[in-house]
Amino acid sequence: MTQTLTIIRPDDWHLHLRDGELLAGTVPATANVFGRAIIMPNLTPPVVNLAQAQAYRQRIMAQVPAGVEFEPLMVLYLTDNMQPQEIADAAASGIVYGAKLYPAGATTNSDSGVSDPSKIFPLYEALEKHGIPLLLHGEVTDSDIDIFDREKYFIDRHLGVIREQFPALKIVFEHVTTKEGVDFVKANGRLTAATVTPQHLMLNRNDLLVGGVRPHHYCLPILKRREHQEAIQAAVLSGHTQFFLGTDSAPHARNAKEAACGCAGCYSAPAALPLYAHFFDTHGALDKLEAFASQFGPAFYGLPEHNDTVTLIKKDWQIPATQHIAGVEFTPWQGGETIRWCLAD
Ligand code: DOR
Ligand code: ZN
């Protein structure tokens, strides 16, 4: 008999949809499965005020397929020049659910990010006061710090201080990639959480580099050594409430990834939920998928769980090797690979 798994409709707590014509492909890929998503603001130019968030939200909503209910949870992009009033306005709007800290230069479209995370304390104060979570790209950018150590340094230099100074601030350590990150989240109680991507659960840096460089596994923060992967796996498989689903799905055209200077980001949205199901099943922990995908996130953000469900089927499924959006070719993450789960409809 075919095995099926029905879970409360999940949410994606970290997603890049991009903008313009690409929304016609990226929005359905997520909205057909996930009920809500935290929408990353690293557009060019970035989403730095409420008016931009409202306009971007409308462009997203215009691409939600008919009959599908989907709520984009908008995020402001923090900058050196942002005024606390911007955060107050965003909070009052009811459409903004987070503020993203990109250290300047850390990743794709982060040039307008924060030059020094220790210089925007008035913004953290405003976020704490208005109940808006701080979402962190937790890496330092100093050129003398090794790329594999950048997350650890961010924790030591910045995260500890922010956590201590703003005890009521909700903090999400986005796409956690290290044991140090996992330990920090575990040690800091229910107002500190982490999102976990499929690639950081399923791969380590050997998968990126041994036997040839795999540009489609290149993302930031970069995949780390196996012991870090195992720490992330252990936290998630134990059903720890402070770790929940956030794909960090981040499409780049195939030719921009397969290039001499390839872009960082894995376009995981087309197969995201089956990929997570495959991971949990591989580790004999399918019973933990629902809370990770559909319950811990809403609990952290103070939102209701969805009252409908999605169903997965245990059946070999080959992830499409390619997807065209607006005439541009994308390679879905793990495209061409066969996994053991797929969506029912
Ligand atoms: O790999 C990444 N890609 N990491 C990020 O932080 C940003 C993202 C993107 O926007 O492409
Ligand atoms: Zn991201």
Q: How far is the CA of 14 from the centre of ligand 2 (A)?
A: 6
Does 137 sit in the ligand 1 pocket, CB within 6 Å? yes
Q: With a 6 A CB cut-off, is 265 part of the ligand 1 pocket?
A: yes
Residue range 285-294, pLDDT digits in tens = 999 999 999 9
pLDDT of residue 261: 97
Please report, as a single letter, which amino acid is at residue 20.
G
Tens digit of pLDDT for each residue in 178-227? 999 999 999 999 999 999 999 999 999 999 999 999 999 999 999 999 99
Give the percent of the chain with pLDDT over 70: 100
pLDDT tens column, 33-56: 999 999 999 999 999 999 999 999
pLDDT score of 1 more than 80: no
CA of 250 to the centre of ligand 2 (A): 7
Return the structure tokens found at 136.
């962190």
Atom of ligand 1 nearest to the CA of 218: 1
Q: What is the pLDDT of residues 215-247, one digit of tens each?
A: 999 999 999 999 999 999 999 999 999 999 999
Cβ within 8 Å of residue 115, ≥6 positions away:
80, 103, 104
Contact (Cβ atoms closer than 8 angstroms) between residue 330 and residue 322: yes
DSSP 284-331: T-GGGHHIIIIIHHHHHHT-PPPSSEEEEEEEEEEPPS-EEETTEEE-
The predicted model gives 64-85 an average pLDDT of 98
pLDDT of residue 110: 86
Distance (Å, whole) CA 229 – CA 181: 11
Average pLDDT value over all residues in the chain: 97
CB 273 within 8 A of CB 293: yes
pLDDT band at 344 (very low <50, low <70, confident <90, very high): very high
- Whether 106 shows a pLDDT value over 90: the answer reads no
What average pLDDT does this structure show over 63-92? Answer: 98
pLDDT at 164: 98
Q: Is the pLDDT at 107 greater than 90, yes or no?
A: no
pTM of the model: 0.98
d(CA 194, CA 133): 12
Q: What is the per-residue pLDDT for 308? A: 98
Based on the residue annotation, tell me whether 345 is a catalytic residue of this protein. no
The set of residues, in sequence order, having a beta carbon less than 8 Å from that of 93 and lying 6+ positions away, is 50, 53, 54
Which residues have CB less than 5 Å away from ligand 2 (the ion)?
248
Choice among 11, 12, 248, 281 that is catalytic: 248
Mean pLDDT for 129-143 is 97
Share of the chain above pLDDT 90, in %: 97
Calpha distance 189→180 (Å, rounded): 15
Ligand at minimal distance from the CA of 265 is: 1
Q: What is the pLDDT of residues 239-268, one digit of tens each?
A: 999 999 999 999 999 999 999 999 999 999
The answer, yes or no, to whether residue 14 has pLDDT greater than 80, is yes
Confidence of residue 109 (pLDDT cuts 50, 70, 90): confident
Give residue 345's pLDDT. 77
Using most ligand atoms within 8 A of CB, pick from 196, 219, 266, 331 the residue to mutate for ligand 1: 219
